[in-house]
Structure 1
Amino acid sequence: MKDIAVICFTVIGNLILYLIFGSVVLCKRKGPEEGSRGASVPIRLIVGFFAYYTVFFLVCVPVMKFYRPLSLLAHIWLCVVTAMGITALLLNFRALKKVPAVMARALEWIKQNPLILAGFVILIGVQIVLVSCTYNFTLDAAYYVAGVSTNVETDMINVYDPFTGAWQDHFEMRYFFATYSVQDAVVCFLTGISPLILTKSVMAVVIIILTNLVYGLIAGELVRTGITGTKAAAPGDEAPALTQAEQKEGSKREALLILAVMTVIFFINVTFNTIYTSSVFLMTRTYEGKAIVGNLAVMAVFYMFIRMNEAAPSAVCTLTRPWLSVFLICFGASTISSTANMLMPVELTVLFLPLIIRTGRYRWLPKYVLCVIPGLALALSFVLYVKGYFVFYTYPR
């Protein structure tokens, strides 16, 4: 029971951290182009997750490169997180006044639709139980846990081989820029949580929750713009007036359809459990970097594409800072797994280049290029390392 309580509190703490980072980078700017409400909580959580790992990467790499201990990185990161928390409060102080009203509306919806809420809870709960009880015996699984444990016990960062404990004279570039597991080590160092619990339980639950949030957002767009045949109104257009009863009925029908779509996706993930799909990583290797990139990052960018594709060529996307969100997702994904260095630029090219050409939004080209650069730069650095052009040693030379 103690371990379960630790997992629950740590999962909640992680989500709060992601919300803090998301609230900073997606703080609503004044102006008609930003829509009426700014970024929703799910979007802030998802973008905040990748913003969190992007900022951690920028802090971690210099500390690791200059052979500083994990304890120093942990204390620096604690200061950064504290500063981000204060910044989030200052930037969103006015929005906090609306929280009681938002909570009241949410409670009213729950009272009116308890069975639908129960369906969402059961659907996500079943997935959490499945991934938490999965016995992961792969080599990568052992490497993640051993890497975090080794960093915590030696108070160094990727200096010792996780499998043998032997000192390594240089950093392996495949893992040097993928600082996702180093962040786990920092959390374990600061909190005293077991690396096994944090990696295989806490992060698995977090990824399931965030991935289902993305599924819900995408399903919502499909329901509103595809299944129901309704699209978001362009600036200046007036939406047809609906009675309160019609709004409630429409909200209930929309929630049921979203639940149905998410249920179908769940069965796809369970039954398409082969080495050729990302489902096997989500359901059996949930906390690993490839699972996060192949499920959360890819789908998050796809959601951003859907929202940006909705607006007419003359309209402005109602998402708050959409290209900043895409950039952070792509950069953050590259700091989680080197797989993203190839996957994210390909996805961006397949989705956004045709969109830019089709709609004539050529002003988006520089933003697209900026989003592609992190993955390509890290991929190029790995190629140069493999070819022997440079190496980062684990000691001063």
Structure 2
Amino acid sequence: MIAVKILGLILWLVVLPFCMGLNFTPLFQKRFRNVGAVFAAGYILFFAALEIVGIPVVLFTVYHGLTTFVKWFTPVIFVLSLTGAGIALCGKKRGYGLNFDGFSPLMESSLEEKIMLALFLTLAGFQMYMSFTRASFDGDDAYYGVQALIAQQVDTLYRVNPYTGRSAPLDVRHALALFPVWEAYLGRMCKIHATIIAHSVVPLVLIPLTYVLYFQIGKVLLEGKKRLLPMFMVLIALWQLFGNISIYTVETFFLTRTWQGKSFAGNFVIPAVLWIFLCLFASKETEEEGLIAPKGMNNQGKWIERPEHGRRRKKGFWVLLACLNLAGGASSSLAILLSCLMTAGFGLLLAIRERRIGILIKAGFSCIPGGVYVLLYLALTHGIFVP
């Protein structure tokens, strides 16, 4: 039985999100179509779908909320995953398959790089081990953890006061942040207690996911200096390990409150905005893609991608950013506001650099999902809209 539950967790937390991320491979340039980028993109799409399906269920379903959510959300996840898997199967023939070139330099790296990489893996493994065996508890568990448990056991979403256990009106302040609902959903699908999901399982996924995201950031920042990437990851791991200088730091949330939405906002949503814009700033107009173009042959006899292909595949990051500006709402309403503000600021800088007003338009469109979320939140909290 335990083996079945473990396989279920692998399916819902690794396999399906990765397959969902494959939907973006036709929209990415070759160097950004790696396993880590696809995995991060899959989780962004996962939480965006969580918000799209979950918010109407929370607002309009009083009883059997989790059952209704499972009924609608599960088919959506499987459709997105199967679509991604289908794209991956056809990707090699059409020139947008996964890029595994990054594994070759790893095998050919120097002894120093391998030692630094082993040190990073040791630090990350230690953090995961401590998070699993020394789970900490704080006052917010009385709300967020219990909301997930209530959803699983009472089958209602934000309709019971977690402090008293009594029925209550919809908690409009937290109703749009569906991170506890995600944990309850995992518990329902894998037949595991929601508290175990939150305190023991989620850290084993979100800690590696965060490091995968920082690895992608490092690859862009250290373009041309990949030998420094293992050292960069060691510094990030040490920063996380010794960042507990206050109960309010992102590092404290990362290791002691990993299962809470506020931790996900600070350790994934905000860095994901930085990663996407770093990729947009780093995107080149031409790139070796293996495409057959009439005038695409370079001096070495290799086919290169023409500028229009590079511009087209920059759009994938704008689509991903739009998903992120909605997915952040699963963690906190504040995460939506911050991600949209960062989108506006970085979009302005990118537009100035590229001297293209169209970039501001794309940034504006990518903020529309987050803007709708914010308007709905304001309508709920100010009594304009009462479900």
For Structure 1 versus Structure 2, the TM-score category normalised by the shorter chain is 0.7 to 0.9
Alpha carbons of structure 1 residues 81 and 12: separation in structure 2 relative to 1, 3 Å: closer
- Percent of aligned pairs with the same amino acid: 23
Structure with the larger RCO, 1 or 2 (CA within 8 Å, 6+ apart):
1
Alpha carbons of structure 1 residues 358 and 83: separation in structure 2 relative to 1, 3 Å: closer
* Alignment partner, residue 179 of structure 2: 180
Partner of 1:79: 75
Bigger shift: residues 199-208 or 306-315? 306-315
When normalised by structure 1's length, the TM-score is 0.79
**Structure 1 residue 115: Cα displacement:** 4.9
Distance 1:102 1:123 in 2: 27
Take 1:337 and 1:11, find their aligned partners in 2: how far apart are those partners? 26
Report if the CA contact (8 A) 2:33-2:98 is conserved: no
User: Structure 1 residues 258-267 or 88-97, which shifts more?
Assistant: 88-97
Confirm whether residue 349 of structure 1 aligns to residue 349 of structure 2. no
**Residues 131 and 347 of structure 1: CA distance in aligned 2, closer, same or farther (over 3 Å):** farther
Distance across 2 between alignment mates of 1:198 and 1:136: 14
Deviation at 1:125, TM superposition (A): 0.7
Give, in angstroms, the shift of residue 286 of structure 1: 1.1
Matched, 1:164 2:164: yes
* Other-structure match for 2:126: 126
- Indicate if the aligned counterparts of 1:11 and 1:205 stay in contact, CA closer than 8 A: no
1:87–1:383 CA distance, 2 compared to 1 (3 A) = closer
1:81 to partner: Cα distance: 2.3
- Match of 2:164, SS state, is coil
TM-score when scaled to structure 2? 0.81
How far is the alpha carbon of 1:319 from its aligned partner?
5.1
Query: How far did residue 8 of structure 1 move?
Result: 7.9
Correspondence for 1:220: 219
CA distance in 1, matches of 2:7, 2:228: 29
2:237 is the counterpart of 1:266: yes
Write the deviation string for residues 340-376 of structure 1: whole angstroms up to 9, x where unpaired.
1221122222322122123212112222112223334
Is 1:281 the counterpart of 2:280? The answer is no
- Contact in 1 for aligned 2:131/2:255 (Cα 8 Å): yes
User: Which residue of the other structure, out of 365, 368, 377, is the alignment partner of 2:363?
Assistant: 368
* 1:133-159 alpha-carbon deviations (Å, 9 max, x no partner): 444332222322211111111122222
The amino acid across from 1:23 in the alignment is L
Which amino acid is the alignment partner of residue 379 of structure 1? Answer: V
Unaligned residue ranges in structure 1 (runs of 5+): 229-253, 393-397
The CA distance in 1 between the partners of 2:269 and 2:109, in whole Å, is: 33
Q: Does 1:47 align with 2:41?
A: yes
AA at the equivalent of 2:236: I
Tell me the matched-pair count: 357
Q: Identify if the C-alpha distance between structure 1 residues 277 and 257 changes in structure 2 by more than 3 Å, giving closer, same or farther.
A: same
5+ residue gaps, structure 2, are 287-306
Q: Distance in 2 between matches of 1:52 and 1:338?
A: 17
Conserved 8 A contact 1:143-1:162? yes
Distance in 2 (alpha carbons) for counterparts of 1:193 and 1:107: 39
The residue number in structure 1 matching 2:53 is: 59
Aligned to 2:332: 337
Amino acid at match of 2:173: R
CA shift in 2, pair 1:105/1:136, >3 Å: closer
Change (3 A) 1:382 1:40: same
Cα deviation per residue 1:299-330 (whole Å; 9 max; x = unaligned)?
A: 11111111211246996466570101111112
Q: 1:200 to 1:162 in 2, by over 3 A?
A: same
Are the structure 2 counterparts of residues 179 and 105 from structure 1 closer, same or farther at C-alpha, using a change threshold of 3 Å? closer
Alignment of 1:220-259 (within 5 A): 220-224=219-223, 228=225, 254=226, 256-259=227-230
8 A contact 2:261–2:330 mirrored in 1: no
CA–CA separation in structure 2 for the residues paired with 1:276 and 1:149: 25
CA contact (8 A) 1:331 1:371 kept: no
CA RMSD of aligned residues (A): 3.2
